[in-house]
Amino acid sequence: MLDVTSTAYSPAELLHRFQARTSESPITHVEHVPAREGRPAPWPSWASPEVVAALNAHGIARPWEHQATAASLAAEGIHVVVATGTASGKSLAYQLPVLSRLLGDERATALYLSPTKALAADQLRAVAKLGLDGVRPATYDGDTSREEREWIRQHSRLVLTNPDMLHHALLPGHARWGSFLRRLSYVVIDECHAYRGVFGSHVAHVLRRLRRLATRYGGSPTFVLASATSGDPADAASRLTGLPVTAVTADASPRGATTFALWEPPLLPADPPDENLPEVRRSALSETADLLADAVVAGTRTLAFIRSRRGAEVVATMTRRSLDEAVPGLGDRVAAYRAGYLKEDRRQIERALLSGDLLGLASTNALELGVDLVGLDAVLICGYPGTRASLWQQAGRAGRAGGEALAVLIARDDPLDTYLVHHPSALFGRPVEVTVLDPANPYVLGPQLCCAASEAPLRADDLELFGGEAARAAVDGLTASGALRKRPSGWYWTHPGRPDVDLRGAGGAPVSVVESATGRLLGTVDQSSSHFMLHTGAVYLHQGVTHLVDELDLEDAVALVRRADPDWSTHARDVTDVSVLGVRSHVDAGPVGLYLGDVEVTGQVVSYQRRRLGSGEVIDTKPLDLPVRELRTVAVWFTVSPRALEAAGVEPPDVPGALHAAEHAAIGLLPLMATCDRWDIGGLSTANHVDTEAPTVFVYDGHPGGAGFAERAYATAAAWLAATREAIAACGCESGCPSCVQSPKCGNGNNPLHKPGAVRVLDTVLAALGAATAG
Ligand SMILES: [Zn+2]
Ligand SMILES: [Zn+2]
């Protein structure tokens, strides 16, 4: 019987164990991230002795330098963002000024915002245990009862909540919060890097609405933001708040060493050997499941991060199965964990991992996890999480007190992952990405102005706060369409009820997944994914149990499923069309044009394939009757004249495949430039587009109104397309593989694709762009 006890394995030993299972060498790079000595600072002289004594009593002898610096700026009333690594003690940077102020001025109040309820609950515990009289901290969220809400409004001086509650409850009910807002001295925004894309753009306006109302009641709070390490945090924080913000980024907390390995799964042997078949790598999911099983047998507490919900389920199931084969019952020490599970289930799983009852967890997003979950022995990252910022955040969950931890990035078979494991310099020693958000997105701005007007009529001088010219244009449009009414004193919302605005922008209510036999709610899936994941006939996994979808009812947002064990998987197919509404900016590079503009994308999931498990053989294709989804968004596109293509050696019959291959790889590499992942963006390529009248490749934001991704792509086009060209040309495959030009989300089944043609297309585009910018 294997004895699973607490680990004595060093990262090097564990890595050696991992490697011992294969004859090939899957490790492409090992980076030693050295330990760092902490730099403590004295307590600032302004800090309340009572707060300092309470912190001392809880084991904090002195602040680290970055905590003291940020806290002192905040105490002076300077808006500040502290952007340092996981577990660097960002909380102290706001606790110190906020609590000192609350104790020094018994009327002052403060508001704390976090992207998740779990994080707010955790902060409440941290503050409550300091036992400071008169602060009366309280969480205010969807679970707070009516009586509690009344008490909180009247008595709490530190309210911990989230942007959704601010948007749905606190701001609309501001009259009852008048005295709280008048005395508001601080607004703390924790994990502010989570506010990116469309959601971030909404939150930016929620904060402007808060600032406007606070001003009306006479409050002028100082903003203190905490962020994971990110590129240019001061700029991102000012876009978010609309205020000038000073950044503190020099992390002075001590850190244990981490061994970081890059891992490329080995090629599968072709059986029988066949030169005509493309070479395929072992899937990152299988590889991760094997490493997770190894780690569990070695007794190391290990967290595996998987990109998709389905993937997390698959990894947990595979790991459990192989552990049970080795030692019956050992599989019970591994679980899956993802968004969509009910809260109680998630917290219970976290506790089990912390206590050691569970040794392995296959999880989706790091942000969903409770903040206590740090100090693990090892972290496996299955597939690049899309940004260096999230990579470091996930790796940061590993880190044993006084010891070394191991992190492994396991590459998926796609262009970006393959590029990264062979270009470690693109990961290590490079600053993390800029957090992208765009408060001027008209699909966000208009609805948010309606919310603001429904809270208090908009006055002309308010519009500066909401974006100046863009806000004035939006208000005019809203007035013309009858959404707002103009009176001498300003613009009014005169409709019954409040504007119906969803911050998460997912478009409609999430779809509930219900087991038809029992009526049990298994979880939820957002509307846009539901067409792909929950269409009638789809195979759906929950906690490793396979279900078949009997019916997707979009009207009631319910999918009815039943347990089943089919020997096939399902793959949805869709058709997409793009039409150009207008050009915002363009570069005329002779035979090549580069454009940024507004487009309308129509897409429809039209059918799905059933494929045999194991062999991947297509059993059949079944039609689906799902509605068309329309998306007005922002796109970047390039055109190349047919003549230039011919001159570059791309024969007319190969043009569609060459453009399609270039499109796939370009989408795969865009996350190098912007904080998005390939699922946030879509593309379309065509040998002759009706609007451009030329061979064209479109890459568009997958969010209504755009989220800033296409804009980033346009601004960095030369670097982006050069990396794309390099990724395709450097791939060892003959005619295209998932590491270069194939895409897992292709609605055309990756057909046609012409790999050498794609390189020629990109060479032509890059040469023309280079000549245009040089001249
Ligand atoms: Zn390839
Ligand atoms: Zn495609």
What are the tens digits of pLDDT across the range 147-186? 999 999 999 999 999 999 999 999 999 999 999 999 999 9
Alpha helices for 567-613 (secondary structure H):
none
Strand (E) or helix (H) holding 148: helix 146-155
For residue 4, pLDDT over 60 is answered with no
The more confidently predicted of residues 326 and 413 is: 326
Q: Give the integer Cα–Cα distance in Å for 110 and 73.
A: 17
The CA 685 to ligand 2 mean position distance, Å, reads: 8
Highest mean pLDDT among 46-60, 250-264, 326-340, 344-358: 46-60
The CA 657 to ligand 2 mean position distance, Å, reads: 10
pLDDT at residue 677, rounded to an integer: 58
> pLDDT exceeding 70 applies to what percent of the chain?
92
The CA 23 to ligand 1 mean position distance, Å, reads: 23
pLDDT at residue 346, rounded to an integer: 77
The CA 717 to ligand 1 mean position distance, Å, reads: 22
The CA 449 to ligand 2 mean position distance, Å, reads: 38
The CA 738 to ligand 1 mean position distance, Å, reads: 6
pLDDT at residue 315, rounded to an integer: 94
The CA 426 to ligand 1 mean position distance, Å, reads: 19
Q: Which ligand is nearest to the CA of 736?
A: 1
Q: What is the mean pLDDT of residues 647-674?
A: 92
Which phi and psi angles does 615 have, rounded to 5°?
A: -80, -25
Confidence of residue 763 (pLDDT cuts 50, 70, 90): very high
The CA 720 to ligand 2 mean position distance, Å, reads: 19
pLDDT at residue 598, rounded to an integer: 94
The CA 729 to ligand 1 mean position distance, Å, reads: 8
Confidence of residue 489 (pLDDT cuts 50, 70, 90): very high
Confidence of residue 275 (pLDDT cuts 50, 70, 90): low
Q: Give the integer Cα–Cα distance in Å for 437 and 221.
A: 23
pLDDT at residue 181, rounded to an integer: 97
Alpha helices for 688-744 (secondary structure H):
709-715, 717-730
Q: Which ligand is nearest to the CA of 745?
A: 2
The CA 728 to ligand 1 mean position distance, Å, reads: 7
The CA 742 to ligand 2 mean position distance, Å, reads: 8
The CA 574 to ligand 2 mean position distance, Å, reads: 10
**pTM score, two decimals?**
0.70
- Cα dihedral 379/384/386/388 (nearest 10): 60
> pLDDT exceeding 90 applies to what percent of the chain?
54
Q: Which ligand is nearest to the CA of 756?
A: 1
pLDDT at residue 664, rounded to an integer: 94
Confidence of residue 738 (pLDDT cuts 50, 70, 90): confident
Q: Give the integer Cα–Cα distance in Å for 174 and 166.
A: 10
Q: What is the pLDDT of residues 125-146, one digit of tens each?
A: 999 999 999 999 999 988 899 9
Q: What is the mean pLDDT of residues 95-114?
A: 96
| Residue 211 to residues 182, 186, 278, 605, Cα–Cα distance (Å) | 11, 11, 58, 43
pLDDT at residue 3, rounded to an integer: 39
Q: Which ligand is nearest to the CA of 731?
A: 1
Highest mean pLDDT among 110-119, 150-159, 382-391, 559-568: 150-159
Q: What is the mean pLDDT of residues 491-510?
A: 80
Q: Which ligand is nearest to the CA of 746?
A: 2
Q: Which ligand is nearest to the CA of 279?
A: 1
Q: What is the mean pLDDT of the chain?
A: 88
Q: Give the integer Cα–Cα distance in Å for 225 and 235.
A: 12
Q: What is the mean pLDDT of residues 725-733?
A: 88
The residues facing 184 across adjacent strands are 109
For residue 2, pLDDT over 60 is answered with no
The more confidently predicted of residues 516 and 317 is: 317
Q: What is the mean pLDDT of residues 359-368?
A: 79
Confidence of residue 507 (pLDDT cuts 50, 70, 90): low
Residues in Cβ contact with 434 at an 8 Å cutoff, skipping those fewer than 6 apart: 230, 231, 232, 235, 236, 674, 675
Confidence of residue 1 (pLDDT cuts 50, 70, 90): very low
- Rounded to the nearest angstrom, the gap between the alpha carbon of residue 416 and the centroid of all alpha carbons in its chain is 17
Q: Which ligand is nearest to the CA of 737?
A: 1
The more confidently predicted of residues 52 and 629 is: 52
The more confidently predicted of residues 510 and 713 is: 713
Q: What is the mean pLDDT of residues 515-541?
A: 83
Confidence of residue 565 (pLDDT cuts 50, 70, 90): confident
Q: What is the pLDDT of residues 315-363, one digit of tens each?
A: 999 999 999 998 999 999 999 987 667 777 777 888 888 888 999 999 9
The more confidently predicted of residues 743 and 209 is: 209
For residue 542, pLDDT over 90 is answered with no
The CA 767 to ligand 2 mean position distance, Å, reads: 25
Q: Which ligand is nearest to the CA of 278?
A: 1
Q: b/e for 512-537, b at 16 or more Cβ within 10 A?
A: bbbbbeeeeebbbbbbbebbbbbbbb
Q: Which ligand is nearest to the CA of 734?
A: 1
Q: Which ligand is nearest to the CA of 666?
A: 2
Q: Which ligand is nearest to the CA of 751?
A: 2
Q: What is the mean pLDDT of residues 355-383?
A: 81
The more confidently predicted of residues 428 and 333 is: 333
The CA 749 to ligand 2 mean position distance, Å, reads: 7
CB 127 within 8 A of CB 158: yes
Edge-to-edge strand list for the sheet holding 511-515: 521-525, 511-515, 558-563, 545-553, 539-542
- Identify which of 304, 262, 268 has the alpha carbon closest to the alpha carbon of residue 27: 262
What tokens does 96 get? 């110190």
The CA 535 to ligand 2 mean position distance, Å, reads: 21
The more confidently predicted of residues 419 and 505 is: 419
The more confidently predicted of residues 69 and 345 is: 69
- Identify which of 137, 140, 159, 158 has the alpha carbon closest to the alpha carbon of residue 149: 140
Per this entry, what is the length of the chain? 775
pLDDT at residue 614, rounded to an integer: 67
pLDDT at residue 607, rounded to an integer: 92
Q: Give the integer Cα–Cα distance in Å for 427 and 408.
A: 13
Residues in Cβ contact with 208 at an 8 Å cutoff, skipping those fewer than 6 apart: 242, 439, 448, 452, 465, 466
Query: What is the chain's Cα-based Rg?
Result: 27
For residue 6, pLDDT over 60 is answered with no
CB 130 within 8 A of CB 53: no
For residue 29, pLDDT over 60 is answered with yes
The CA 267 to ligand 1 mean position distance, Å, reads: 12
Q: What is the pLDDT of residues 597-646, one digit of tens each?
A: 999 999 899 999 898 876 667 899 999 999 888 888 999 999 999 999 99
Confidence of residue 366 (pLDDT cuts 50, 70, 90): low
- Identify which of 230, 171, 248 has the alpha carbon closest to the alpha carbon of residue 203: 171
Edge-to-edge strand list for the sheet holding 80-83: 137-139, 158-161, 109-113, 184-189, 222-227, 80-83, 246-248
The CA 705 to ligand 1 mean position distance, Å, reads: 33
The CA 605 to ligand 2 mean position distance, Å, reads: 14
The CA 576 to ligand 2 mean position distance, Å, reads: 10
Confidence of residue 678 (pLDDT cuts 50, 70, 90): low
Q: What is the mean pLDDT of residues 389-404?
A: 79
Q: Give the integer Cα–Cα distance in Å for 419 and 665.
A: 11
Is residue 653 packed enough to be buried (19+ CB in 10 Å), middle (13-18) or exposed (0-12)?
Answer: exposed
